[in-house]
Structure 1
C-alpha cells in the first residue's frame, strides 16, 4: 500500500500492554492503529472511529474475545472481526465463529507477515461488503422511484380511459352512432381490459408499499363482499362458502382482500364454458394460531408442468383467457408479507385447488 492510499484502520484489543506496544511497533507504519486494553475501551473507540478491522485477544479478565465480538457484531456490524489467542481452545474458536461471526483467528505469538496479510485480506472484504451495501441502497432507491413512476403513470392512464368509457356509454344510450360491425363493443372490451391491467399494477404497488395493519377479520363478511363483486364476471357460477370461525382472527385486512380477490377472480375467469354446473368452493377454518383457507373450482385446471411457474410475474398458463399474468404473483407477495403460505393442486381439465395458511395475530396483553 503506497502513501497516497487511505490507510486501513485497525483496532487491537488486549489486556496485556506489552502486546499492545508490540502490535503498534509492528504495524503503525503500515496501518492506522488503535489500541484498547479492555472491551469497554474498544467499544468507545468503535463508537468514535470508522474502524475497518477489529482484532481481539480471547483471554481477558473482564470479558472474553468472543463475548466482546458478540456485542460488536450487533452494535458495529461493519468492521471485520479477527480473534487472537495463545491457546489451542477449540471451544472458544467455535464460539467465536458461531456467536461472534469472526473472519478468522490468529495464534499467539503472531507471525507478522501472516497477520499483515490477514488484515489486508479482511480490509478487502470490508470494502467489498461496503460497496455491495451501497449498490443495494442504490438499487432500492431506483426500484422505489420506478415503483412510484409506475403507480403515478397508472393513475394518469385511468383518467383518459374513464373518459373513453363515458363517451362509449353515451353513444350506447343515445344510439347516435351507427355501428353495424360492432366496433364500439370491441373498443369497450379493449378499454375494460386495459383498465383491468392498470388496476392490477396499482394493486401490486399498494401491496408492497402499504404498511402492515392488523385488525379483526370476519371471513364470512369479507368473502361475501368479494364473491358479490367477482360473480358479476359470470352470473352462472354457483358459490359455496363455508366459514368455521369460532376464534377471533386478527390480520391484515387489505392484503387478505387482495389475496381473496385475485384467487376468487381467477376461479371465475378460468371456468369451462362447456361445463353444465360451474362452481367455486371456499372453505375457511380458523383457530387461535392460524386460518386455513381452501379455494377450489371445477374450471379448466393447470397443466402440471406449469405449476412451479404460476406465481412468477407475467407467467400465463393458458392463452385461452386474457390476463396480465400478475395476479398470482401479487398473491404470493402479499402472503409473504403477512407470513402466510400457499400451495396449489390442479388437474388439467378438472379444476384447481389453492390452500392457504395465514397466521393469526392475537392481541398481546401487557401485564402491569
Structure 2
C-alpha cells in the first residue's frame, strides 16, 4: 500500500509540474507546452532550403485598420503595429519579408489566390477549413457601437433584426450569425463596407442601427470626432480573440518558420515593446501576460494542488478505515456462509498444507479443527484415499481439476481450484457428497424411462398383434392338409414373425435396464433405427415420414443410456410437434461422427415453439403440451445428460414452421 501511495503521489507531482509549466508557457507565450517545445528549435536545413526558393515572403495586411496597419501618406509608406512586427519577424527568421496592403476582403482573396504567402486575421472554424494558423501574436477586442438615442444595445442578443454596418469579410459577420442562430433569434441585416471609417460614418448618419469594428481602430478614427459627439454612443464588447498569421493549407514549412519566429520574438519581449511603442500600457491590445500575473496563477494552482492532496489524503485515510471495517464485516459474513455450506471446503498451499477449513469439512473428516489445520492432506487418511484415487496424480501442477471418487459406497465430487493468491499460491479443495444426488438422478432417469416405455408399449402392442395374427393363420394352414411346400412356407413365416416379436421385446428390455455410466463400442445407426422402430406406431398414426443421414464411422465409443435418453426425448418431442395429419409431415435426423464427438440435428416441420417459451424449455417440469400429455422432465434430462459429457444443446424454432435441435456430445 505504501509503494502504491508513493507512486501515486509521484505521478500527481509530475502532473502538477507539467500543468504548472504549461500554465507558465501559456501565460507568457500564449501557447501550450507541447507547441512551445516543438517551435523552440532552430530553423532546420529543410526550412532554410524552402526560404531560399521562396524568398522574399510576401505578407499582406488590412490597409484600413490604423494603428494596426495602414498607409501613411506623409511618409508614403506602410506603417502600424503589424509593420513593426513583420520587420522583427524578418530578423528572427533571417529572411526578407515584403508587405502588401489591401482592404480586408481583398486581403483574404489575395491569400486564396496565392498572390501573397501570409496575412494576419482572427482564427475561426470556417477559416480553418481553408487556412492554417500560427501561434497567437496578440489579442484584439471587437466591439458593438450603438446610438444612445436609438435603442441602446446592451447585449449581443439584441442585435436580432438590427441593421449592422461591418467591414466586408470581417469575422463579426460569421460570429453574430451563428450566435443568433444558436439563440433561435431572427438574423441581423448586414451592410458591408470597405473600412471601419465608413462603418462609423453610416452610424453617425443614422443609416444603420449598429456599427461593428476593432476597438483600437475605432479609437483611432474617433479622434477625428468631437468628444461630445462620441458620448452619444454606447460601446460594448462583442468578443476578444487572438490575432494569428494565416497561410494556405499544405504549407507546413512556412507555418513552422513563422511559428519559430513569433515564439522567438515573444521570448525577446519584442511583441510587448512594439505594443508599448504604439499604445503605451493600453489594454486595448494585449500581447504576453505580465509575469506577476503568471506567478499569481501558479501560486493559485499550487494552493489548489496542496488542498487537493490534503483532501485526497484525508479521504483516503477515511476510506481505508471504512474499507477495513467492511472487510472485517465481510470476513465474518463469509465465515458464516462457509460454515453453513454442506460442501467441505479446504484452503490448501501448493504443497498440500491445510490453511483453513469450514465446519462441513470437519464433519466429513470427523475431526477437530486443531487436528486438521497445518496438516498435510496426505496425512489425513480419508483425504489421502480420496485424492489417490484420482486419475490425475499430478494435481499440484494443474490449475483446475474436477473428478468423482467412491469410498465405502459413498460417491464424492472433488474440485481443486486454480491459485487464489499469486504470492502464496493458495488453492481451494472442495469435496461434496453426491451419493443422494446420484440416487435421485438415477431414479429420475429410470422413472422417465418407464414413462417412455409405457407410452411405447401401447404402440408395440399393435406391432406384436400383427405377427401373432400371422402365426395364428399359419397354424390354421398347418392343421389343414396342404402341400409340403405350403407347410414349409408357413413354418418360415411363423419363425420370422416370432423373431420380430422377439426383437421388439429385446429392444424394450434392453432400453428398460438400469442405467450404467460405462461407455462401450456401439453402432449409432443401429441405435437410432431401433428407437425409430419403437416410434413406428406413433409415426404412422400422424403420417410422419423420417429420414436418417449418417456422416462418418457409425461405430462409436459411447454411453448407451445417455444416447437413448437424449434421442428418445428429442424424437418424441418432434413427433408431438405434429398436431394434425398432413402429407408433408417429416422428421430429419442428421448424425455426424468425428474423432471423439457426436453431433445430432433433429429437425421437424411441426407447429414450432413460441419465441417467449424457448428460454424455458430446458427447465424442470416445464411443458408446452396439454395437461396429462407431458411430465416436463424430458428436455430437462436431455440437457443434464448432454452437460454431463461437456456437450451443448441449442434450439432454433419458428412458430408454425418447425423446430431444429442441435446437439454435440464428447466422449473419451
TM-score bracket for this pair, using the shorter chain length: 0.3 to 0.5
TM-score for the superposition, normalised by structure 2: 0.27
TM-score for the superposition, normalised by structure 1: 0.47
